[in-house]
Amino acid sequence: MNVEIPYYLVQWGKLLYHDISVVFLISEHIVDVILVQDLNESVEDDLAK
């Protein structure tokens, strides 16, 4: 039995999990920004009428 393989798998799993959570946070932030821009545009449209 080689003990290094599970260790590397664990490290890889941690890295993968970290990358996924970072991507999730970034995509969540992008969605928030898009929603805010949409809200601002719709408010400006209402004011322009």
C-alpha span between 19 and 14 (Å, rounded)? 9
* pLDDT at residue 2 in the model: 61
Domain ranges of the chain: 1-38
Over residues 4-17, the mean pLDDT reads: 85
In this predicted structure, what is the pLDDT of residue 3? 64
Answer yes or no: is pLDDT of 36 > 70: yes
pTM: 0.49
pLDDT tens string 13-35: 999 999 999 999 999 999 888 88
Sign of the Cα pseudo-torsion (22, 24, 26, 28, in order) = negative
Confidence (pLDDT) at 7: 84
